[in-house]
Structure 1
Amino acid sequence: MLKHPDTTNAATSKLAATFASQQQAARAQPYPDYRSRLHALTQLEQQFKQQLNALAAALSEDFGHRCAEESLRIELLPTLQGLAYQQRKLKRWMKPEKRHTSWLFQPASNFIQYQPKGVVGIMVPWNYPVFLTLGPLMAALAAGNRVMLKLSEDTPATNQCLQHLLAAVFPDEQVAVFSGDAKQAADFAALPFDHLLFTGSTAVGRKVMQAAAANLTPVTLELGGKSPAIIAADANLAVSAERLIFGKCANAGQTCVAPDYLWVDAQIEPALIHAMKGAFTRLYPASRLQQDYSWLCTERQRLRMRTLLQQAEQAGATIISCAEHSWQHYLNDGSGLLPLQLVLNLPEDHALWQQEIFGPILPIRSFSTIEHIFTELSTQARPLALYVFSDDKALQQRFLKHSHSGGVCLNDCLMQVAQDDLPFGGIGASGIGAYHGKEGFHTFSHAKAVHSKGWWHPGKLIYPPYNKNWLNTALRWLLRR
């Protein structure tokens, strides 16, 4: 629905006014001390704990249905764990970092002072609206910044809950929340932030980066792409199948690091498919499917999944439903429930091989030699995640050293994102920069180089006039080394 022009103008004016007030506050307090930063994180954690049930209910409302236990496990508890981790590490991160000083410049000292960048913008997608709001927010606050958040218009109930939570802790000049439409998102990205973090699709990420470039705003882009899983012949089939099902079916596949497609050794392909169907039935038995399995979040998502599956069928692919009924049964019943669909014999030019799927559809292709995979990976856009299922240490090392991806998980799925002390970020088409853990603190800080001297130093020896023969001799000796 189109907004009245006055409403749109008012929203744009509020963005600008909030940005100006945060800039002013950042100038007045350019370096919040340890106590104030820790207090912000502690208050956020306390308020978050009080809102866990409300957030789980709001997430389910926005998705049509999302199991509260799943929200707790894959979104709320990782957020809580991250807040505790930030508080434990903050004092150490804030300490000036000593650097080497050459003897040529002694007596002196070198160090890095991590300075807050100022006003940070964070743009949040709809698929994990709590984790992808509070995760970057806690890092930006730990670094001492003011923050403006642009939440997705597709999650209104969660947005309202988050707005209530954050307003109970922070004034607008410290943390402000916006949740308007695409026009507001464009206006948001065009603000001259000191840093802008965007999580979403590669296509929109390009637009955000273009808008930020006009202001020379540094960006962190957390995008996506087609993250492959490789199942080698020596993989433990039962364990691999169960972990693949969890990784692909969490949040109904609406996860930027979900396995997008499988490469499986041709010798074990039939056995793997059988094991995956069995694992799905164990994790999501028919009696629990309606309760435990999340829905596709929007009507747009449902239409995308329907179109992709219809096109796959028309192209002659074989579609195997991991649940009791066919995909048509689920997409025709008026709900957002779509259990995992395995797709075999898919033509190479099909959209499922070209687009990030971002849903419960998993194309499978076989390989006879591992060299084929390395050749394919070297010619494709670099993914956000790479999953290798094998106990062969040499093969694991080959993937670690000879393939590019934002992150890697060996013999599991998704879990690399939940590690507090590992950076999370993409490369190339899957993103720019990283956050989580110490890397998040650094992303939202300026590493200010400081060289400190006393009143006496030997640097005067290199000043002109340059006819000091003994110094010329010393310089020639240094240059010969």
Structure 2
Amino acid sequence: MTKAELEGLLNRQKTAFQMDPPGLERRMDSLKKLSDIIENNKERLIEAVNKDFGLRAREETLFLEIFPLQDEIRHAMKNLRSWMKRRKVNGAWFLLPSSAYYQFQPLGAVGIMGAWNYQVLLSLSPLVDAIAAGNHAIIKPSELAPRSAEVLQEIINSSFPEKYIHCVTGGAELARDFSALPFDHLFFTGSTRIGKKVMAAAAPNLTPVTLELGGKSPAIIHHSYPVKLAAKRIMAGKLFNCGQTCVAPDYVIMPASLNEEFEKHVKASVEKFYPDMNKNQQFSSIISSDHFKRLQGLLKDAEENGAKIVTLGPADDPYKRFMAPRLVFEVSHEMQLMQEEIFGPVLPVLNLETMEEAVEYVNDNPRPLALYYFDEKKKRINWLLRNTLSGGVTINDTVYHLAQHNLPFGGVGASGMGHYHGYDGFQTFSKKRAVMHQRRLAASDFLHPPFTDLKKKLIHVLGNLTKV
């Protein structure tokens, strides 16, 4: 699709929106239709994702993409009437007898740019929020997962009018043109590097953006916490989709005295999760040869700089893009795998002896999308929450905070800006519009010019009454 064709599509959507903004009934019907589309094409989507990766377990796509997406639609439909309600607020006393309220109104025509690692979820989850908020939308799935992008394009475009919801596919050039369109809001999921380019492309139009990026999400283990349980939960979150998850634990911080026990329990967990790892058809492949080579380069750099690498499975297979999990000990901050988001089955272990040292290290680096802390002591947990900043936090587990519909999901700083999921997603794609309703007789009429002596005295009295 050319740039001119994209512009024409957006203009048609904007015109259609202005003529008939979706109300409650159309929004509910569209959410139900989207749910039906996903259910009716579930097996096609699962197979397309599997082909994109070379291997992705059916159960993993169901558990990590299809089920959360359907549950998000269910949650939106259950709560949409309440979300749309006008909400009264207390008016300013000096503007009595006016009343004040706010209401959420749709923005117009929005753009959504999905991500390859969870193509179905990360393309359609923002669409759920956009539909619930009453917008028209154009979706652009990631070209790095072309088979799932093609299926999404077919099922969306055959089910919704072009002027309402439409899906476009294409490579980097189309992505550049897409992000430069004058959307009423642009939602992007992907890397921090590309996020900067998307934001720069949107800036000339002053298009507001939500950026769901990534970062190095730490898992901090307090020495008092059961290492076996921490190891199991960290590796479960780490190895979903072979580590190609934006909120996967990127590295572990713990005292050196826990290394031996942690390694033992990590090995046991991996063996339990993925017996016959390279044969059981449940351990995902790396998305592309380029990404496979990048991960191998991170390991090579770490080993050349003194790291100890523990392989937790059979030999890698570049042809199948199979990569066994690794633990990496004796790491330093200068190593490449401690400088960039790993996005693979490689888990560095950074040995810091105290909680204060761990928090200082996290705070000295770009703010992560997620932070995981393993401890039972409420006082220490609260101290860590006060003294760190991240997109989200899970205590004594990993990843699952993003599945909480009543919690916002989003990054901070280099890991992103803005939120979505549930009510927060509805707000992201809405204008929270302020409305004041003044009465025929109003005290504010006495404050109009000219400022007579009486009015000056009145203003003086008001000034005294409003002092803290």
8 A Cα contact 2:31 2:128, kept in partner: yes
- Aligned-partner residue type, residue 204 of structure 2: A
2:157 is the alignment partner of 1:167: yes
**One of 312, 320, 324 as aligned partner of 1:335:** 320
- Aligned-partner residue type, residue 461 of structure 2: A
Q: For each residue in 1:97-155, what CA deviation from the matched residue of structure 2 results, as whole angstroms up to 9, or x when unmatched?
A: 21110222222211112111111111111000001011100000111111111111121
| Number of the residue aligned with 1:99 | 89
| Number of the residue aligned with 1:263 | 253
2:373 is the alignment partner of 1:373: no
**One of 17, 21, 25 as aligned partner of 1:26:** 17
> Structure 1 residues 290 and 111 mapped into 2: Cα distance closer, same or farther (>3 Å)?
same
Q: Deviation of residue 160 (structure 1)?
A: 1.7
The unaligned stretches of length 5 or more in structure 2 are: none
8 A Cα contact 1:195 1:218, kept in partner: yes
**Structure 1 CA distance for aligned equivalents of residues 278 and 464 of structure 2:** 78
> Structure 1 residues 477 and 16 mapped into 2: Cα distance closer, same or farther (>3 Å)?
closer
| Number of the residue aligned with 1:209 | 199
> Structure 1 residues 184 and 459 mapped into 2: Cα distance closer, same or farther (>3 Å)?
same
**Structure 1 CA distance for aligned equivalents of residues 76 and 386 of structure 2:** 31
- Aligned-partner residue type, residue 446 of structure 1: K
> Structure 1 residues 274 and 450 mapped into 2: Cα distance closer, same or farther (>3 Å)?
same
**One of 455, 458, 465 as aligned partner of 1:471:** 458
Q: Deviation of residue 265 (structure 1)?
A: 2.1
**Structure 1 CA distance for aligned equivalents of residues 246 and 344 of structure 2:** 10
Q: For each residue in 1:280-302, what CA deviation from the matched residue of structure 2 results, as whole angstroms up to 9, or x when unmatched?
A: 10111117853110100111111
Q: For each residue in 1:412-446, what CA deviation from the matched residue of structure 2 results, as whole angstroms up to 9, or x when unmatched?
A: 11001111111110000000111111110111111
2:358 is the alignment partner of 1:356: no
Q: For each residue in 1:188-222, what CA deviation from the matched residue of structure 2 results, as whole angstroms up to 9, or x when unmatched?
A: 00001111111111111111111111110111001
The unaligned stretches of length 5 or more in structure 1 are: 1-9
Q: Which moved more, 1:184-193 or 1:461-470?
A: 461-470
| Number of the residue aligned with 2:140 | 150
**One of 401, 412, 424 as aligned partner of 2:386:** 401
| Number of the residue aligned with 2:25 | 35
> Structure 1 residues 365 and 479 mapped into 2: Cα distance closer, same or farther (>3 Å)?
closer
2:443 is the alignment partner of 1:458: yes
- Aligned-partner residue type, residue 236 of structure 1: P
**One of 208, 223, 235 as aligned partner of 1:233:** 223
Report the TM-score when normalising by structure 1: 0.94
> Structure 1 residues 292 and 194 mapped into 2: Cα distance closer, same or farther (>3 Å)?
same
Pairing of 1:11-410 with structure 2 (within 5 A) = 11-29=2-20, 31-286=21-276, 289-323=279-313, 325=314, 329-332=315-318, 334-410=319-395
**Structure 2 CA distance for aligned equivalents of residues 351 and 108 of structure 1:** 60
Secondary structure class of the residue paired with 1:347: coil
Secondary structure class of the residue paired with 2:26: helix
Q: Which moved more, 1:412-421 or 1:470-479?
A: 470-479
- How many equivalent pairs are there? 466
> Structure 1 residues 471 and 412 mapped into 2: Cα distance closer, same or farther (>3 Å)?
same
Q: Which moved more, 1:471-480 or 1:38-47?
A: 471-480
**Structure 2 CA distance for aligned equivalents of residues 65 and 348 of structure 1:** 33
> Structure 1 residues 386 and 476 mapped into 2: Cα distance closer, same or farther (>3 Å)?
closer
2:427 is the alignment partner of 1:442: yes
**Structure 2 CA distance for aligned equivalents of residues 28 and 41 of structure 1:** 21
Q: Deviation of residue 472 (structure 1)?
A: 5.1
**Structure 1 CA distance for aligned equivalents of residues 120 and 417 of structure 2:** 22
> Structure 1 residues 342 and 456 mapped into 2: Cα distance closer, same or farther (>3 Å)?
same
**Structure 2 CA distance for aligned equivalents of residues 479 and 235 of structure 1:** 52
8 A Cα contact 1:234 1:392, kept in partner: no
8 A Cα contact 2:277 2:283, kept in partner: no
**Structure 1 CA distance for aligned equivalents of residues 317 and 213 of structure 2:** 27
8 A Cα contact 2:127 2:137, kept in partner: yes
8 A Cα contact 1:302 1:331, kept in partner: no
**Structure 1 CA distance for aligned equivalents of residues 327 and 263 of structure 2:** 8
8 A Cα contact 1:115 1:447, kept in partner: yes
> Structure 1 residues 148 and 480 mapped into 2: Cα distance closer, same or farther (>3 Å)?
closer
Q: Deviation of residue 321 (structure 1)?
A: 1.2
> Structure 1 residues 311 and 480 mapped into 2: Cα distance closer, same or farther (>3 Å)?
closer
- Aligned-partner residue type, residue 453 of structure 2: N
- Aligned-partner residue type, residue 91 of structure 1: R
- Aligned-partner residue type, residue 27 of structure 1: Q
**Structure 1 CA distance for aligned equivalents of residues 277 and 291 of structure 2:** 25
8 A Cα contact 1:306 1:331, kept in partner: no
Q: Deviation of residue 266 (structure 1)?
A: 2.2
> Structure 1 residues 103 and 262 mapped into 2: Cα distance closer, same or farther (>3 Å)?
same
Q: Which moved more, 1:141-150 or 1:158-167?
A: 158-167
- Aligned-partner residue type, residue 137 of structure 1: L
Q: Deviation of residue 75 (structure 1)?
A: 1.2
**Structure 2 CA distance for aligned equivalents of residues 169 and 92 of structure 1:** 27
Secondary structure class of the residue paired with 1:242: helix
Q: For each residue in 1:305-350, what CA deviation from the matched residue of structure 2 results, as whole angstroms up to 9, or x when unmatched?
A: 1211222222232111112x2xxx2134x11211211111123311
Q: Deviation of residue 239 (structure 1)?
A: 1.6
Q: Deviation of residue 267 (structure 1)?
A: 2.4
